Amino acid sequence: MDKILTVFTPSYNRKHTINRTYESLCRQTCMEFNWLIIDDGSSDGTREWVESLGEKVVTKGVVFDWMGRKLSSESDNHFVIESLGDSPMRIEYVYKPNGGLYTGYNVAYALIESELCVCIDSDDYVPDDLVEKIAKRWNSRDKKIDYCGIVGLDYNVVDKKPIGGEFAEGIFSGYYFDVKNGGDTKEVLRTDLLRAVSPMIGFEGEKDFNPFYMTSQVLDKYLILVENTIFCWVEYQIDLDSMSQAIFKQYKRSPKSYVKYRLNEMKLSRYCNIKDRIRICVHYVSACIFAKDVDWLKKSPLKIITLLSLPIGIVLNFYVRYKAK
């Protein structure tokens, strides 16, 4: 019987944290899932750790380039393990050259065969009944409605609270951008819909392309089931001030990626109010300055708002430069 869910984990030098992810998956009350690990060029012994978990049942598989695109050859850098223990788990491991988080998503959507999938980061872990909750809600849905998946809450490991708060009481489904709580959420989505909007084509030398670029295209078009409960325990590896500075540095490191990301946002129907559009255009202008994109106005589908956002976009660009020092 095919498993209903694949948990995929992009990882880069996270051997010291990924074992906690693994242990939480081993404790699942429902084992109707597979685990896919995408190793983005780790050099810390992640592969050896995976190999120690069980016995290889598939020794060779597809090769991927740095962007997560399939190549024609096969390699032992892609293998499958059946883990040992009381709760056997199928673990698929893929090693690829380092390309950034989004390239791991490209690999995942190319390989996953289950109906649903969810990304659990290599420094996070999940409650023991996560898969059981997902399977129960998905199997009991109204199949006449074309849902894209289920959304639950991310909880902070430190204060044991949902990051950004819970969903509004009494909401059981809706469009993601209407029901979003303003904080972090965990989306469990249909693989077929994600595969239809992948792969993300990035830019060589830019590793900070947000994979929500793909996810948002699905969430914009389809209704989603809402679970006002914990789906994932999240532990930030840096404090909020350091995280903010890191985000500013990403703007400078990957400007073309941010330009492409903002152009995608402009096309989403859920960002239809003027406040959202101004915000997006301001960030777009700033990113275009970093990218030295002379066709910034020509590319924008919101030309008037983009032009009016130019002064604030210039100010934002100076602010980002200052904060990224």
CA distance 97 to 274: 41
Residues of the chain with pLDDT under 50: 1, 240-241
pTM: 0.93
Please report, for the chain, the start and end positions of each structural domain, with discontinuous segments joined by +: 5-234, 240-323
Q: What is the pLDDT of residue 240?
A: 47
Please report the pLDDT score of residue 273 as a whole number.
85
Q: Could you write out the three-class secondary structure of the chain?
A: CCCCEEEEEEECCCHHHHHHHHHHHHCCCCCCEEEEEEECCCCCCHHHHHHCCEEEEECCEEEECCCCCEEEEEECCEEEEEECCCCCCEEEEEECCCCCHHHHHHHHHHHCCCCEEEECCCCCECCCCHHHHHHHHHHCCCCCCCCCEEEEEEEECCCCCECCCCCCCCCCEEEHHHHCCCCCEEEEEEHHHHHHCCCCCCCCCCCCCCCHHHHHHHHCCCEEEEEEEEEEEECCCCCHHHHHHHHHHHHHHCHHHHHHHHHHHHHCCCCCCHHHHHHHHHHHHHHHHHHCCCCHHHHCCCHHHHHHCHHHHHHHHHHHHHHCC
- The CATH H-level superfamily of 5-234 is Spore Coat Polysaccharide Biosynthesis Protein SpsA; Chain A (3.90.550.10)
For 64-116, write each residue's pLDDT tens digit.
999 999 998 899 999 999 986 666 789 999 999 999 999 999 999 999 999 99
Per-residue pLDDT at 260: 98
- Average pLDDT in the chain: 93
